[in-house]
Structure 1
Amino acid sequence: MTYTRRGLAQALSAGALCVPLMAGRRLKIGIGAYTYHAISTDAMIDQLRALKVTEIEMSRGEFMNFNKPPAELFGSFRSKIDAAGIRCVSYYAPTIKDKADLDGAIRFARILGCSNITGDPTGGVLKYVDERMSEEGMSFGIHNHYFKNRKFDYESPEDILRALDGLSETVGCTLDVGHIVSCGHDTVDAVRKLGPRLKLVHLKDIQARGGEVNVPLGQGLCRIPEVMKELHRIGFKGLIALEYEKDGDILDDVRRQIAAARKMA
């Protein structure tokens, strides 16, 4: 069927044509490695291969910088994921209190082949993060978080935007939509406010505000379909890393959630 210019406009206004948002571009779906914290890295790689997941963020506890892991741990893991066709695009280093913390995180990220680091530096070290990461040609995402019974520096979009004020585009945000809800804020509003500075997204769903109970995507308060639509709208190109922070047998849940996320991508 062909349309004149006027006919095309009439068809669009009447809904006769359905043009997909961001046609031809798919959001990138991966996994945050903490999801598999209860199984070995070898078993995790097997699961990633079975799910055809090719990009991850390394966020397992034994790799976190505050646990002072040996460099050999990273080298061994890198060899295994290279062989499996998996890329580690980001390294989660939650403790960046001084220059030494960042320098160590960069060293580990380089071994893994990452282009981004996620963490929560505050105060004076933020300038060093900006300068050092710019020198390295890498990006940094400030991570929002919820902690029960204590105030965290980065809970709301506004907290993060204040920290980013005066910093270069090297430093942005790794937005955890679950923690946004846990802290009482709206996920879609957070994506809209932080969109220009988003480096990575942690995709999860949360049962209730003021808590951290994870539920399968779409069963909680995170407005996951709307979040994905907004990420499409802003043309987000970074990794959307599924995180399912739950103990026990999670493998079937993860498989279903990856499938659901891909349908929305």
Structure 2
Amino acid sequence: MPFALAHRTSVSPTITRRDAIKVAIAAPFAVKPASASLVDERQAQRCFERISDSLVSLSFNDDALVKRSGFVWYVDANDCWIATSSSGASKGTLKSLSTIAFANGGSAVMDSTCEYVSDANAGVAFVRVPIGLLKMRDAGKPRAAAIGTSGDAVVGRACFACACGPDGEPSLASGIVSGLNRKIPVVGGLMMKGLIQTDATVSESSSGGALCDGEGRVIGLCVVPGSQGREPNGVNFAVPIDTVRFVAERL
């Protein structure tokens, strides 16, 4: 079709001021055409299926409403080791840890046979729970998370923050790696450095959860800055899993 003819046959309808107001009011409620999702649903589902049974929710004696997330780091015939965050805006500390609830239905009540170790500078902590304390119902033995490497993290790559919500149920928030080698202040006046930045939501209850790649491999441990009542704002952080591994070997 010739250019001139195309423009001559295109007639714009007359829109009155009243019509324009109606359109503006109705716009937020209009059904938009379907478009391609920015999230790869298959990646998200695969990631969640692989990591969800390894997630845990930690509760504290000094505040029943305070919860933190973690994930199963290692399991042998005697003990279950759980990785979590030593930082965050939580009133609770690992010393006041009372119970651990596994996302797949198990639980454990802490006692003197348990052990915790932490590195406040790295923002990483581990909890050792004797297998005999675990009440796993029909869930069987806890399943250790698949540990990847943060060396593969590049800006723009998809990632998923996987943790337990305030109700203890596993959840997934999608995003991308939006920065590397970031630093944030944490409770106690310390500064954590070398962090992965992501726009995947990380709340206080999901602090200590797993930042995963599309295959469900853990590439980071989610942490929050040390400001009370912080709301996730699209700039969130995780300790690189290679740092977590280094802390585990040193502790």
TM tier, smaller: under 0.3
Bigger Rg, which one: 2
